[in-house]
Structure 1
């Protein structure tokens, strides 16, 4: 059975795959920090909203392999295939490490993403 944080992370990743940016914004803190290893960092909810606006619409297939939570920390790994209408399809595997702001009503405070193209 999924706990509250596991359910949140599954929905968060599905929202990313489906382009539901408002849901994603509703799940992060104002001081949200997203570190994309080897790429860039996004600091703050406002910067996160801008980054989401810049993402092109795409269809995707998402496979979540593991969703692990413990205390205020969590990890999700999986695979995604992006089918872009006017570009070449992309496939990658990812591992995201999360930190929540609290136990009771968790919001995502920090996310570190490791992505490998396949």
Structure 2
């Protein structure tokens, strides 16, 4: 199952990079929960959709340096660049721990640090 979950996340990441947020959201359960440690928690697919629309002003540019899967979890380590409200590029390093159930993303626990 872990290789299947890894493939789901890779397809979702590719969609996000192309500006297709729904490509990842289609793999999320309706009650998915995204926890940005030390910042905020999003509950439900619609909250995540709104967050993505507001945050991904332009498709993010990211590099996944490690993608590790085991059981129901996939961990992604990497770097991401997002544009802020002023159009300025802001760089971050991240570690995302994704939890799956039945081929759907049910939780993200994200550790994100501005670099």
Is the TM value for this pair above 0.5? Answer: yes
User: Smaller-chain TM-score range?
Assistant: 0.7 to 0.9
Q: 1:83 deviation in Å?
A: 4.9
**Structure 2 partner of 1:113:** 110
* Cα root mean square deviation, aligned: 2.1
**Structure 2 partner of 1:57:** 57
Q: 1:60 to 1:53 in 2, by over 3 A?
A: closer
> Could you say what secondary structure the match of 2:87 adopts?
coil
What is the TM-score normalised by the length of structure 1?
Answer: 0.83
Across the two proteins, how many residue pairs are aligned to each other?
Answer: 114
Which region of structure 1 is more displaced relative to structure 2, 55-64 or 71-80?
A: 55-64
What is the TM-score normalised by the length of structure 2?
Answer: 0.85
Q: Say whether the 8 Å CA contact 1:9–1:67 is kept in structure 2.
A: no
Quick check: which has more Rg, 1 or 2?
1
Q: Say whether the 8 Å CA contact 2:56–2:83 is kept in structure 1.
A: no
Q: 1:55 to 1:8 in 2, by over 3 A?
A: same
Q: How does 1:1-118 map to 2 (within 5 A)?
A: 3-83=3-83, 86-102=86-102, 106-118=103-115
> Could you say what secondary structure the match of 1:67 adopts?
strand
